[in-house]
Structure 1
Amino acid sequence: MIKIGKTLRLVGLFTSLVYQISFAQVFTPAQTRADLSYLKRKLDLLHPGMGYYTPQPRMEHLYDSLYNRLTSPVNYLTFFHHVSPLVAALKDGHTNLNHRRNYIGKNTLFFPFYIRLVESQYFISHNVSADTSLQRGTELLTINGRLVADLHRELMNTDHSGSDGDNLTGRRQWSLVQFADYYAAWFGSADSIKLTYRLAGDSLIRQTRIKCLTLHDFRTTIQSRYGVELDQRPNLSVRVVDTLTHTAVLRISSFMGLKKKDPFQWAFNRRLKRAFKQIRHENIQNLVVDMQGNGGGIVVNSARLLRYWMPKSFRIMEHEEMKRGARAELVTRWNPFSALNFSLQYRADNRGGFASRSANRRYRPRHRDAFAGNLYFLLNGASFSATTSVLAKTLDAGMGTFVGEASGSAYWGDFAGHFKTVTLPNSRLQVRIPLKKLTHDVDSERSNGFTIEPDFTIMRSFDDLMTNRDYVLDYTLRLIREGVVVRPGLEKQPSRNRPLQASR
C-alpha cells in the first residue's frame, strides 16, 4: 500500500509538472505567425459567414493587425488570447476557439462557485468550496483584485459561443452559467483565488482566499450539497403543473439524439410521441414548452417537434449552402462512398459553392396527438441553434407566447450543419468551423427582432435567487391564469417589418 501511495503521488507530481511545462511553452514569432495565417486560410476557405456579421475589410484589417504584432516570443496562453479576437470578430455562435487537447483536464482547478446576476450585482447561488460561510446570497465584489462585473464582461467579449451577431444574451448566459469553465480557460488553472465579498444583509466588505477544485471534486460537492435542487428532469418529460387551467410543462433540454447509435433518431421520436400522447390523455389546454438552456442539436428532431402544432405542411430551411472548399472535408479517400453520398445530397450552385438538395424537404403536421391549445415558450440566451429554428418557425406561423429573454441565435438562421475542427500546427489550438449556411424558411416581416425576442422579458430578483425559484415559469403560469395569449394564430396576427441583420 505504501508503494502504491508513493506511485500515485509521483504520477500526480509528473502530471502537474507536464501541465506547468505546457503552460509555460514559448513560441517564436515565426511559429505564431504560421499558426495565425493557417487559421485565416482555413476560415476563408471553409467558413460560410466570413464578412456576414463583420464586413470583410474589417476582418482583413484585424487579421493584419494581429499578424503584425507577433514580433516577440509568446507563451501558450498569451497566444490563445492573441488569436481570440479574430475568432470572436466572426460573431458566430457556432465558431469556437478551444484549447489544445488535454490542456483542460482532470487536474485543472476551477473557481468553486455558481454565481448569478441580479440587476448589476453578482451573488453566490451555489458554493462548493470548503468555506461554508459563503452562503447563497453572498455578494461577490472582486476576484483577485478585479471587479466581478469587469471579469464577466471580459469573458463575454472573448467568446461568442452560443450567441450570433451583436446579440448579448447568449454570451451573457453561457459565460455566467459556466463561469468556472470560462475563467479557467481564459486565465488558466489556479490553486486559489482571493475574494472580496459582502454577506447577505451585511454592509461590511470582507476578504478571503479560497482554494479551487478539480472537476471531480466540484461535481461531487455540488451533488452532495445541492442534489435536491439540481434539474433532474429527463429530456422530453411532461409534468402537469395546474389541473385547474389544464396546464403542463414539456421540458426539452436538447435536440441531440437520446442514443449514441441511432442515425434515424427513432428513440427521440418515440419519446416525443409518448409525451404528446400523455398531453392528449391529460386534456392539456395550455402547454408550456421549456427550452431554456437548450443549445440545439439535430434539425430533424426540431422538425418532429414542430409537427405536433404547425397548422400546415412546412419546411425548416429555405436554403442550405456551403463554400466549394467544404467538399474536401466531406469527401474523403478512406470512404469510397463519400463522393457518391455528397453528390446525392448537394448540387453545384451559381456562386461557385454547393447547395443542399434536401433543403426543400417538407414536413406534414401530425393529426394524431396534435396539440391545438395555447403554446407558451420559455427561452433564454442559451436557447440556440435548432432551438431557435423551432421558435422562429412557430413565430412565423403566428403562434406562441414567448417568455424569458432573447434567444442566442438569429431569426433568419445560422452557420451550422457540418463542422470542421482545425488544429493549428504549432500551438495545437483548435478552432471549430461550421461548413453550412442554414437559412430558415420564414417571412422576414413576421420577425420580432434579430433573434426571437420575448413578449415578456423576465429578470431574476434577489428573492428568486434566495428561494432558487423558477421565476420564468412562475410568471408564465400567472399569464395562463389571467388568460393572456399573445399569438392565437397567424390569421389573427398583423405582420411587422423587422430587420434580419444584426447591427454592425
Structure 2
Amino acid sequence: MIRTNIPFFAQTIFITLFSILFFQVGYSQDKISKIYLEKDLAILKSNLEKNHGGLYTYSSKKIIDDWFIQTQKNLKDSMGTFEFYRLLTPLNSVIKNGHTDIPYPKLKKDFKLLPIQLYKYKDSFYVGDFFAKGYEDLLGLQILKIDKQPIGEIYNSLLKNYTRDGDNLTFPNENLSSLFGLDYALIYGSKSNHTITISKDNKNVQIELKSTLLNDEVVNAYEKSKKQKPLSFEINNKVGILTFSTFSERKLEKENYLSFLEESFKKIKHNTIEHLIIDVRDNSGGDALPTQELLSYLLDKEFVMYKDVYTITKKIKDKKYYSNQGVFWLNAFSWLKLKKTMDNHYSLRKIEGMDVFSPKKDNFKGKLYILINGKSFSATGEFTSFLKNNRNVIFIGEEVGGNKVQNTSGISYIITLPYTKQKVKIPLVVWEMNVDYKNDSHGIKPDYWIRNTIGQELNDYDSVLNFTLEFIKNR
C-alpha cells in the first residue's frame, strides 16, 4: 500500500522481486558461522518487536517466539545465504502480514530455474506459461509430478514461504503460481534438468524439461502482465462497467481521475443506469484519498474510513541496519505527525482517511456488483470491506487478498541483517478500518465464486465479467 500522503516520512520503499535479483547477482556462497547466524536472527527478532505495528495481529507472541527458538535450533554450524534464506522465509506465513516480506537472496548469474509458470484451478495445476522455446505443446496441460514428487505436496510446501494477510490463501496462491519455477529451484535446488509427469490424452506422460538461466529474457517474461489502463468506464446494454486497476494517487492523478469519476457518474445518472459493475481485480492497492473519492459516489451518507492509524514506535533505534532510507528524518521529525495516546501507541495526526468525507451529488443508489480476486490487495481490501459494511453489494470472483479489518503498511523499511546480508521488509503503520466486523483473518469473500478454467484463461475469456453480465440480465 503506497501512502504518499504522509510527507514527513520516507516514501515506502518498494523493491520488486527481480530488481533485487539482478541488483544482487554474483554473490558468492561463502559459509557463515553459526554464531553470526544467531546474531542475525536476534537482530531481526528485536527489530520486528520494536517496529512492526502488526506483528501479533494473526499470531501470538508465544507462536512467534517459539518459531525463533526452533529456527535457532535448526541452524547448522555454518550455512550459506541460500540455506539461511530457506530457513528464514517461512516466517512470512507465521507473521501473516501481507506487507511484510523476505526477499530472495543474492543469486549467481548461472542460476537455473524451472522454465514454467503454473495456473491453479481448484486443486489442479497446469502449465500456464513457459520461458523457453520448444515447450509450446505443454501449455494448458495438467502437471501431476515434478522430479517424482506430487505437485500438490511441492506447492503446499512452497506456499508456506509466501506472505499473506492472516489465513487468506488467494494472495499467496497468485504470487506462487507466477513465481513457481524460481521458487522451486531456490528451495529444491537449481539443476540442469527436471522430470515432470503430465496428463495428456488421458495418459500420464513423463517429459524431461531443461532448465533455463535466470536472464533478462526470463525476467521480462516474469514481469509481463496484462496491461490495464488505471481507469476505464463503459456502458454495456444499460450496465455500467467501471474499472479501477489501482488506488495509487500518483498514477491516478496522471489520468485526471477526479474529473474521470465526475464524468462517469454523470453518464450513469444521465443514462439511468440501474446496474453498476466495479472491477477491482488485480488492484494491489494505493492511497486513502482515491479510495475515499470512489466511495463517495457509492455511499449516501458521510463516512470516516479509519478508526485509528498508528505506529508502535516514534523512532527506528537500530538505524545502522536501514541505510539510505530516510530513517534520520523519521527519527528527527516524528513528533510533528505522531501523538502518543498510550504506551507503544502513536496515532498519526491529520491523516487522510480519518477525516469526514461527504457523498457526491451524483451518488449511485442502484444495484452494485464488485469483481474481486486474490490480487485485490491492501487499499482494495479496505475499499471492499467498507462497501460491504455500509451498503448492499454483490461480490463476484475470488476472496480479496487484503484483510477486511486492518493492515500494517504505508511506511516500510528494509532491514539488512549485518552478517548474512538478508533483507526483510518491515511495515510500521497500522490502519484500522471503521467497520463492524471482527477480524476473521480473511478478506471479503465472494457471494459467487468464479475463476477461469485453464482453457478460459489461455483464451483470454473473462468468466467473472461474463457471469456478472448474465446474472444481471436474468435478475
TM range (shorter): 0.7 to 0.9
Pair 1:451–1:204, CA change in 2 (3 A): closer
Aligned with 1:251 (options 236, 243, 253) = 243
The SS at the match of 2:137 is coil
Instruction: Answer yes or no: is 1:428 the counterpart of 2:441.
Output: no
Map 1:329-408 → 2, pairs under 5 A: 335=329, 339-340=332-333, 342-358=334-350, 360-367=354-361, 369-408=362-401
The SS at the match of 2:158 is helix
Q: Distance in 2 between matches of 1:247 and 1:178?
A: 36
- In structure 2, the partner of 1:236 is 231
Q: Distance in 2 between matches of 1:221 and 1:352?
A: 44
Task: Give the conservation status (yes or no) of the 8 Å contact 1:326–1:435.
Answer: no
Aligned with 2:101 (options 77, 87, 96) = 96
Task: Give the conservation status (yes or no) of the 8 Å contact 1:238–1:275.
Answer: no
Map 1:195-234 → 2, pairs under 5 A: 195-199=196-200, 201-214=201-214, 216-218=216-218, 231-234=226-229
Aligned with 1:45 (options 46, 50, 54) = 50
- Tell me by how many angstroms 1:107 deviates: 6.5
Q: Distance in 2 between matches of 1:73 and 1:188?
A: 19
Q: Distance in 2 between matches of 1:317 and 1:104?
A: 41
Q: Distance in 1 between matches of 2:242 and 2:310?
A: 33
- In structure 1, the partner of 2:12 is none
- In structure 1, the partner of 2:124 is 121
Q: Distance in 2 between matches of 1:287 and 1:213?
A: 46
- Tell me by how many angstroms 1:118 deviates: 2.7
Q: Mark the runs of 5 or more structure 1 residues left unpaired by the alignment.
A: 1-14, 260-264, 484-504
Task: Give the conservation status (yes or no) of the 8 Å contact 1:45–1:325.
Answer: no
Among the aligned pairs, what percent are the same residue? Answer: 22
Q: Distance in 2 between matches of 1:158 and 1:298?
A: 27
Pair 1:164–1:334, CA change in 2 (3 A): closer
- In structure 2, the partner of 1:488 is none
Pair 1:83–1:154, CA change in 2 (3 A): same
Pair 1:463–1:334, CA change in 2 (3 A): closer
The SS at the match of 1:193 is strand
Q: Distance in 1 between matches of 2:296 and 2:187?
A: 42
| Equivalent AA in structure 2 for residue 99 of structure 1 | Y
Q: Distance in 1 between matches of 2:151 and 2:327?
A: 50
Q: Distance in 1 between matches of 2:258 and 2:182?
A: 32
Task: Give the conservation status (yes or no) of the 8 Å contact 2:314–2:338.
Answer: no
- In structure 2, the partner of 1:169 is 170
- In structure 2, the partner of 1:303 is 292
| Equivalent AA in structure 2 for residue 287 of structure 1 | L
| Equivalent AA in structure 2 for residue 43 of structure 1 | L
- Tell me by how many angstroms 1:434 deviates: 1.0
Task: Give the conservation status (yes or no) of the 8 Å contact 2:400–2:444.
Answer: yes
Task: Give the conservation status (yes or no) of the 8 Å contact 1:320–1:355.
Answer: yes
Q: Distance in 2 between matches of 1:35 and 1:218?
A: 32
Runs of 4+ in structure 1 deviating by more than 6 angstroms, as ranges, are 219-223, 329-333
Q: Distance in 2 between matches of 1:75 and 1:59?
A: 24
Task: Give the conservation status (yes or no) of the 8 Å contact 1:109–1:215.
Answer: no
- Tell me by how many angstroms 1:145 deviates: 3.0
| 1:320-362 residue CA offsets vs partner (Å, 9 max, x unmatched) | 1111254667996864x9744x333220111233111235312
| TM-score normalised by length of structure 2 | 0.84
Pair 1:216–1:248, CA change in 2 (3 A): farther
- Say how many residue pairs are matched: 444
| Equivalent AA in structure 2 for residue 454 of structure 1 | P
- Tell me by how many angstroms 1:178 deviates: 3.4
Q: Distance in 1 between matches of 2:244 and 2:117?
A: 23
Instruction: Answer yes or no: is 1:84 the counterpart of 2:89.
Output: yes
Q: Distance in 1 between matches of 2:441 and 2:70?
A: 34
After superposition, the CA RMSD in angstroms is 3.1
Considering only CA atoms, is the larger Rg found in Structure 1 or Structure 2?
A: 1
- In structure 2, the partner of 1:150 is 153
Task: Give the conservation status (yes or no) of the 8 Å contact 1:192–1:212.
Answer: no
Task: Give the conservation status (yes or no) of the 8 Å contact 1:402–1:453.
Answer: yes
Instruction: Answer yes or no: is 1:472 the counterpart of 2:459.
Output: no
Q: Distance in 1 between matches of 2:136 and 2:389?
A: 50
| Equivalent AA in structure 1 for residue 203 of structure 2 | S
Pair 1:212–1:435, CA change in 2 (3 A): same
Q: Distance in 2 between matches of 1:420 and 1:183?
A: 28
Task: Give the conservation status (yes or no) of the 8 Å contact 1:376–1:403.
Answer: yes
The SS at the match of 1:165 is coil
Q: Distance in 2 between matches of 1:150 and 1:202?
A: 22
| Equivalent AA in structure 2 for residue 398 of structure 1 | R
Pair 1:182–1:470, CA change in 2 (3 A): farther
Task: Give the conservation status (yes or no) of the 8 Å contact 1:131–1:210.
Answer: no
Pair 1:311–1:353, CA change in 2 (3 A): same
Pair 1:182–1:372, CA change in 2 (3 A): farther
- Tell me by how many angstroms 1:143 deviates: 2.3
Pair 1:98–1:306, CA change in 2 (3 A): same
- In structure 2, the partner of 1:409 is 402
- Tell me by how many angstroms 1:310 deviates: 1.7
Pair 1:482–1:450, CA change in 2 (3 A): same
The SS at the match of 1:39 is helix
- In structure 1, the partner of 2:9 is none
- In structure 1, the partner of 2:302 is 313
- In structure 2, the partner of 1:455 is 447
Aligned with 1:131 (options 134, 157, 166) = 134
The SS at the match of 1:98 is coil
- Tell me by how many angstroms 1:380 deviates: 1.3
Map 1:182-197 → 2, pairs under 5 A: 182-187=183-188, 190-197=191-198
| Equivalent AA in structure 1 for residue 259 of structure 2 | K
